[in-house]
């Protein structure tokens, strides 16, 4: 091992250590005092409920753990978006579990809470997975009601999705384990089956204070909408549970009796560990996002037996296309090669840049994987498409459009891992969030933006200085440097993988060593949903 490997390793392990510290903080939700208060009511926390519900020792992944990070600080923040979402197994069946975190503003819905809930439902719909809602929420966070209430991707879309999933035959089970008020009351009742915990669970369109104000009726919340009322009088709920664990046990029992599912039929063989040590990734991945490295060495540490069959190996070298297996599942890998490569004509091509030939190769490979019914895995470390007169005259826009078309119209499930750079149109062509990957995760080394912080700062500096000069201000070298550093600092915050994760542009920031699990569980989920339409790229300028 050389000194650079050791430096890279130290840097990336520090990034992973920071990831774990951030996650440990997020797991506390509203904080230790809020957790103690929650426990004093005889209630489990959202994470405790999920952990009890999921099969012990079985694999699970958390979606959107960093949602809301750094947002809503004026209201005290919203860790994990005030809701915990996990994909795991209940009685051996793969499911999505959504649990309101009542330690965060009593489980109130912020705008990011709605977005995260919709993402959980999207995953359930795409993969036809059973979804379980553990409800404990005070409803919409009123100071921000204009950003969560009326639009297509706001609160009401949740209930529309409940109805659509029911018509698709996707199992939905809800347990009311705390407050469930106003419009939120529709979620459990629009599920297939609803449970309610005695004395702590309640459902009503309006609580006792609002009822008194509206119609003058005096009534307590338990009589108005408690477990006895809804299980014995209204018939709104189907099961009464004495406490949280009893409710979760009932869910396990219901899930245990669900029949088998139709399978998409993706190819799977016996899972084998990589021959090359996956921990080497920390030393291979460079500290600087500008440095070159061989993406093939990363792939060897992600795929079974460290073996892959490269497609068009000597053509379009700035994109690697290869068939491989990950935890036994057959996959087609599309990865940005990050080292300087030489073409047969003797020309040098920059790593991480998409050229005409690499775009053409990727398009053909994506089409092949669709024909063979092989899921696609995109490994992103891309600065964008090649620019300049030579590329423009060669039709780079046309070749790039073909690749974007193939990604857009792909019918096999797609999975995206952002290793490093994810800039501009490169993000699109390599299956960024806008292109419907079933799951998208970033490593702590990732950067997502229109362009790098350095490049963007230079462009923005030119605009800023021109504006100041128009106003008659003299720009000294020191002033220019000060402006540059200020702009770059602001932009660097925005390219962070945590900035992207907080807004759910990715499903999470993960340790590179968890990549195989994310992809494997993702393909297993996708296997629940047979492909319903043929692959068709539409009209292209060939």
State whether 67 and 113 are in the same domain.
yes
Inside any domain, residue 541 = no
Q: What is the pLDDT of residue 461?
A: 73
State whether 170 and 313 are in the same domain.
no
Of 144-158, 292-306, 438-452, the least confident: 144-158
State whether 470 and 489 are in the same domain.
yes
**Joined tokens for residue 238:** 């189907």
Indicate whether 111 pLDDT > 70.
yes
- Rounded to whole angstroms, the Cα distance separating 247 from 79 reads 25
Summarised one tens digit per residue, pLDDT across range 460-504 is 777 877 777 787 777 777 877 877 787 777 777 889 999 999 999
More confident residue, 235 or 96: 96
Domain count, the chain: 3
State whether 426 and 308 are in the same domain.
yes
Inside any domain, residue 482 = yes
User: Which of these three, 256, 280, 298, is where a domain ends?
Assistant: 256
Indicate whether 309 pLDDT > 90.
yes
State whether 126 and 8 are in the same domain.
no
More confident residue, 188 or 507: 507
State whether 50 and 75 are in the same domain.
yes
Q: What is the pLDDT of residue 412?
A: 98
State whether 12 and 53 are in the same domain.
no
State whether 295 and 148 are in the same domain.
no
CA distances to 453, 470, 473, 494, 500 from 460, rounded to whole Å, are: 10, 16, 17, 14, 21
pTM, two decimals, is 0.94
Summarised one tens digit per residue, pLDDT across range 75-96 is 999 999 999 999 999 999 999 9
Task: For 218, list phi and psi in degrees, rounded to 5.
Answer: -100, 120
* Mean pLDDT confidence for 450-457: 71
- Rounded to whole angstroms, the Cα distance separating 166 from 152 reads 19
Q: What is the pLDDT of residue 1?
A: 59
* Mean pLDDT confidence for 265-294: 96
Inside any domain, residue 542 = no
Q: What is the pLDDT of residue 181?
A: 83
> What's the mean pLDDT when you consider all of the chain?
92
CB 401 within 8 A of CB 408: no
Q: What is the pLDDT of residue 453?
A: 67
Inside any domain, residue 99 = yes
- Rounded to whole angstroms, the Cα distance separating 294 from 209 reads 65
Domain residues for 423? 1-29+264-446+506-534
User: Which of these three, 207, 239, 256, is where a domain ends?
Assistant: 256
Start-end of H helices in 373-423:
389-393, 396-409
* Mean pLDDT confidence for 14-37: 96
Inside any domain, residue 501 = no
User: Which of these three, 208, 226, 256, is where a domain ends?
Assistant: 256
Of 171-185, 431-445, 463-477, the least confident: 463-477
State whether 226 and 279 are in the same domain.
no
Inside any domain, residue 431 = yes
* Mean pLDDT confidence for 135-151: 86
Which of the 8 DSSP states describes residue 469? H
Inside any domain, residue 350 = yes
State whether 182 and 37 are in the same domain.
yes
| CATH classification at residue 133 | 3.90.226.10
Inside any domain, residue 85 = yes
CA distances to 178, 196, 327, 427, 438 from 268, rounded to whole Å, are: 42, 40, 8, 29, 18
Helices 244-256 and 46-53, packing angle to 10 deg: 40
Summarised one tens digit per residue, pLDDT across range 357-391 is 999 999 999 999 999 999 999 999 999 888 888 88
Cα 517 from chain centre: 14
State whether 362 and 475 are in the same domain.
no
Beta pairing, strands 384-385 & 353-354: parallel
Closest CA to 86 of 44, 31, 32, 132: 132
State whether 65 and 212 are in the same domain.
yes
∠ CA 472-473-479, nearest 5°, is 160
Q: What is the pLDDT of residue 494?
A: 87
């Amino acid at each position: 091992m050389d000194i650079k490997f050791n430096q890279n390793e130290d840097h990336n392990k520090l990034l992973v250590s920071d990831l774990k510290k951030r996650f440990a903080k997020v797991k506390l939700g509203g904080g230790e005092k809020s957790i103690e208060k929650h426990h004093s009511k005889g209630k489990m926390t959202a994470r405790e409920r999920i952990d009890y519900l999921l099969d012990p020792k079985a694999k699970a992944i958390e979606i959107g753990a960093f949602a809301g990070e750094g947002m809503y600080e004026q209201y005290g923040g919203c860790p994990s978006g005030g809701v915990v979402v996990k994909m795991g197994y209940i009685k051996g069946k793969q499911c999505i579990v959504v649990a309101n975190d009542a330690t965060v503003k009593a489980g109130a819905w912020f705008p990011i809470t709605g977005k995260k809930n919709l993402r959980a439902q999207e995953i359930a719909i795409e993969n036809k997975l059973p979804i379980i809602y553990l409800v404990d929420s005070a409803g919409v966070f009123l100071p921000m009601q204009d950003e969560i209430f009326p639009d297509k991707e706001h609160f009401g879309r949740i209930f529309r999705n409940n109805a659509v999933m029911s018509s698709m035959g996707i199992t939905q089970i809800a347990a009311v384990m705390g407050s469930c008020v106003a419009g939120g009351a529709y979620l459990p009742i629009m599920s297939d089956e609803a449970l309610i915990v005695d004395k702590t669970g309640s459902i009503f369109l309006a609580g006792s204070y609002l009822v008194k104000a509206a119609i003058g009726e005096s009534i307590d919340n338990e009589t108005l909408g408690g477990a006895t009322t809804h299980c014995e009088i209204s018939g709104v709920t189907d099961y009464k549970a004495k406490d949280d664990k009893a409710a979760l046990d009932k869910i396990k029992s219901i899930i245990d009796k669900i029949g088998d599912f139709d399978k998409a039929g993706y190819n799977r063989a016996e899972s084998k560990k990589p021959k090359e040590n996956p921990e080497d990734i920390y030393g291979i991945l460079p500290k600087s996002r500008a440095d070159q490295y061989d993406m093939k060495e990363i792939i060897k540490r992600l795929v079974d037996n460290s073996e892959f069959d490269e497609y068009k190996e000597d053509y379009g070298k700035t994109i690697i296309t290869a068939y491989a297996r990950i935890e036994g599942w057959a996959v087609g890998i599309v990865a940005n090669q990050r080292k300087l490569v030489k073409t047969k004509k003797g020309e040098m091509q920059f790593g991480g840049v998409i050229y005409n030939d690499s775009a053409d190769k990727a398009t053909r490979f994506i089409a092949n994987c669709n024909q063979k019914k092989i899921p696609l895995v995109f490994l992103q470390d891309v600065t964008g498409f090649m620019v300049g007169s030579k590329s423009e005259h060669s039709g780079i826009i046309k070749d790039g459009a073909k690749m974007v078309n193939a990604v857009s119209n792909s019918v096999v499930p797609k999975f995206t891992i952002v290793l490093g750079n994810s800039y501009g149109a490169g993000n699109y062509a390599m299956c960024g969030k806008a292109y419907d990957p079933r799951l998208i995760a970033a490593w702590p080394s990732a950067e997502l933006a229109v362009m790098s912080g350095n490049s963007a700062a230079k462009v923005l500096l030119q605009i800023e200085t021109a504006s100041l000069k128009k106003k008659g201000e003299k720009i000294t070298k020191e002033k220019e440097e000060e402006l540059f550093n200020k702009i770059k600092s602001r932009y660097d915050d925005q390219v962070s993988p945590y900035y992207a994760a907080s807004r759910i542009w990715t499903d999470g920031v993960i340790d590179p060593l968890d990549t195989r699990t994310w992809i494997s569980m993702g393909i297993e989920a996708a296997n629940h949903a047979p492909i319903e339409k043929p692959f068709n790229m539409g009209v292209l300028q060939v």
